[in-house]
């Protein structure tokens, strides 16, 4: 029985050693239209894994880059704090006009169309 337990522990340790190597991958910074960093022009300083260089992955990413996420997942629903943090009494006061995104500060249809156009969504 002790030998079996020891063998199981060794198997778990071996599996852990194999999976930890993937956790040491250093991800690159994501470029953003809002970033003013000059580091974006530098060449990447990491080695991409083989799976990340496959022609099939590249083709799949090219095919989906102009797909609007709202067409797949639907529009983002309003955040209801009471649903996330259920308490006996509400601790959340009504939003003031400076942060009322469902009122006059909400995006217009034109702003949403312009965003979709800039993003290249079909």
pLDDT exceeds 60 at position 5? yes
pLDDT exceeds 70 at position 65? yes
pLDDT of 122 reads 64
> How far is the CA of 91 from the CAs of 53, 71, 80, 81, 86, in angstroms?
49, 35, 12, 9, 10
Q: How far apart are CA 31 and CA 97, in angstroms?
A: 33
The angle subtended at Cα 102 by Cα 96 and Cα 108, nearest 5°, is 125
What is the pLDDT averaged over residues 87-113?
73
């Amino acid at each position: 029985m002790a030998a079996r337990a020891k063998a199981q522990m060794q198997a778990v340790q071996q599996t852990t050693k194999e999976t930890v190597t993937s956790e040491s991958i250093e991800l690159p910074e994501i470029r953003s239209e809002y970033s003013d960093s000059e580091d974006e022009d530098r060449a990447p300083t990491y080695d991409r894994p083989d799976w990340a260089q496959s022609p099939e992955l590249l083709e799949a990413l090219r095919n989906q880059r102009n797909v609007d996420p709202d067409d797949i997942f639907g529009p983002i629903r309003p955040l209801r704090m009471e649903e996330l943090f259920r308490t006996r009494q509400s601790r959340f006061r009504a939003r003031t006009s400076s942060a009322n995104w469902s009122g006059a500060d909400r995006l217009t249809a034109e702003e949403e169309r312009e965003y979709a156009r800039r993003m290249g969504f079909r």
